[in-house]
Chain A
C-alpha cells in the first residue's frame, strides 16, 4: 500500500464506541430526527448525534419518544429512536401496532440490552420483542457493525416500510473498536403528508388486513435475510460448528479459533435455510448465545438439530472463558467474580439528609430508579421496593390500601425528578383518583438532572438535550393542578431539621401530600449554573429560541419561592 493511501485510510478509521458509531451512521444515513429517553447503555447515542450536528431530543419517556418518531416517519422522515431494554417495555404499546401501520420514511429503534445487569433492574432479552411484535431485527457485534448495520437498518426500513429494531448490548454499546466511515445513503425524499387512512388508522376493520400485510412483508424480509451479507459463515473444522450472534461472535472466534462458525446478524426473521445448510455441514452444531435460548428454540422449531448451552450460561454476560466452557460442556462451578466495590451516594449528595430522616422515622419506602436507589445501601437501608420507572407511586398507594393503619401511615413513595416526569405523573393522577384512607406522602428528590445516566436534561429542567432554554415542566405546579392537598418545596441540605419536621407533619396529616426536596446534583451543579448563565445571556440578547413568554418562565421560578415560604 502506498504511503498516501495508507495515511488516508488511517485518517478514515476512528476508535469509537458502538453508541458513537450508531450516531455517526445516523448522520451518514440522513436521519432527520433522533429521539429517546436516557438509559444505560444507550444514552451516548443521542448525545453523540447531537454533538455531530444531528437533531436529537430527549422525550419524557420511551413511549412518547417512539410516538414522536413514528409521527415523523409517517411524515416521510428517517428517524432514530433509542432506549435501554426496559425502555422498550414502556414503548411496547405503540411498537406492536406500528408493525401494522408501517412507516412512510424509515424508523429504527435501538434496544440497548444489559445482560449481566451492569446498570439495570433485569436482564430481559429483547430479541423476544422482534418475534412478539413482528419486526425485523439486526444485531451488530462491534462498532464497525454498529455503523454498517444502522445504515442497513435505515435502508431496510425505508424499503419494506416497517420499523426495524437494532439490538445492541452493553459490551457493543460501550466497547470501543475501530470504525471506517464507509457509505451512507442517498438523501431521503422531503417529508410531505400523504393521506392513507386504511394504513394508519388501526380500527379493527383496517387492522385485520394490516396484520396480513405485515406477515407478507416479513416473508419478503426473511427472503432478503437468507442472502444478507450481515450474516457471516466462517468455514473451519467440520467437526464443530457454532451458531452465534452479537458480541458473542468475537468471543467465539477467540475461544474456538479453528471451528466453523455462523454469525447471525439478521436476528429476525432468521435466515433459517442458510443456518440449516450450515448445521448440515458440521458434525456437532452448537448454539452459543448470550441470554435466553432464543436462537436454539427457533432453530429447533424449524427442525434444525442444534445443541444449546447449559442453563447456567443463561445468566450474565458471556466471555471468552465462558464460551470455552460451553464448547467443552463444562458445568462445574465457575470462579467467583472479582470483588467489586459497590457504588454509593456521593459524599456531598443532597439526598443524604432525606434518607437519614426516612431511616430514623422508620418509613416504609416505595422506591424508584435513579441514583437515589442507592439509598438502599448502608448506612441507610432506606428503600423497601424498587421495580420499574415510576413504580414507586403505584406501589406506595397499593401498600397504603391494604396494610394495617399503623403501618400504612409509614408508607412513603420516593421518586427522582426525571423519573417523576417519565412515569410518576400517572401515579399521581391515580393517587388523586383512588386516595388511600390514610392519605399518602410522595417525596420527589429533585436534583435538577437525570443524574444516574450522566446528567441529561429532562422536561423539568427547562432545557433541551443540548442545554438550550425551552418550556419547563413544573412538578409542584402539576401536583397543585391535580388537586393535592399539600405541596411543599424544600431544600433538605439547607434545613435538614425543617425537612424532618415537615415529613413528620405530612405523615401524621392523613392528606395527599407532595414534598419536593430540591437541591442540584453535586456533580451537575456547576454545569447547571453555566447553562443558566449562557441561556440568560441569550435571552437578554433577544434570542427567542424557546418560544416561551417571560411570564411563563418567571411563574415557573415563582412556584419555587412560594414553596419555600411554607407551601400551600
Chain B
C-alpha cells in the first residue's frame, strides 16, 4: 500500500488556510487518491489560529495528522511557523510565507495558492488536477491571478530543489 502523504496548512483566520487545504484535498481527489481533510473552524473565524490537516494516498484512516508525522507544513503567517513546527516528521519540509517573494504576486491574497504551487513540486498530483482544483474553488475573475501565483510557487520550489 502506498504511504499516506500528510500535509498541515496553518495560518490565522481570514488568510486562506482553509481555502488552501480545500484546493489541495480536491486536487488529490481529482488525481484519484483517497483523501481526508480535518480542521476546526467556528471561533477561528475571529482572527484566531487555524490549522487544517490533509491526508491522501491509497487508503486514509484518521482524518487528523498525528503530531510528528506531517511530511509538509504550509504556513501563511510568519508567527505560526515555529508554533506548528512540532507537527513535522524528521526531514519534513516547511513552506513559510517567505518562501515565495511577495513582490512576484499580483495580490498578497494569493499567497495561499502560491505556497500550494511550491508544495505541488513535491507531490504526486498532476498539474492539471491542481489547476482544475484552483479554478473550482475560486470565482472566475480570480482565476488568472491565482494560476499565475500557483506557477510562481511551483517554479520557486523547482529552483530551490535544483540548487
Contact = CB atoms under 8 A, between A and B. Distances in A.
Interface of A: 10, 13, 15, 40-41, 118-119, 142, 170-171, 174-178, 247, 250-251, 253-254, 319-321, 335, 338-346, 371, 374, 452-454, 523
B42 A40 contact: yes
A484 B25 CA distance: 54
A344 B66 contact: no
B48 A340 contact: yes
A361 B83 CA distance: 38
Given A251-B61, A338-B87, 8 more contacts: A15-B29, A142-B63, A177-B60, A177-B63, A251-B62, A251-B64, A338-B83, A340-B83
Contacts of A118: 40, 42-43
Contact of B38 (A171, A178, A346): A171
Nearest to A335: B67
Classify the secondary structure of A's interface with B: loop
Contacts of B39: 174-175
Nearest to A319: B64
A374 B48 CA distance: 11
Given A338-B87, A454-B45, A253 B61 contact: yes
Contacts of A175: 36-39, 63
A453 B44 CA distance: 11
B33 to A, nearest CB: 9
B156 interface: no
Given A174-B38, A174-B40, A341 B66 contact: no
Contact of B63 (A13, A171, A452, A453): A171
Given A170-B40, A338-B84, A339-B83, A320 B45 contact: no
Contacts of B115: none
Interface string B84-96: 1011000000000
A181 to B, nearest CB: 15
Nearest to A253: B61
B44 A343 contact: yes
Contacts of A335: 67
Contacts of B43: 40, 118-119, 343, 452
A40 B45 CA distance: 12
Contacts of A254: 61-62
Interface string B4-30: 000000001100000000100110010
B132 to A, nearest CB: 12
Contact of A340 (B26, B32, B49, B61): B49
B114 interface: no
A15 B42 contact: no
Contacts of B36: 142, 175-177
Contacts of B12: 341
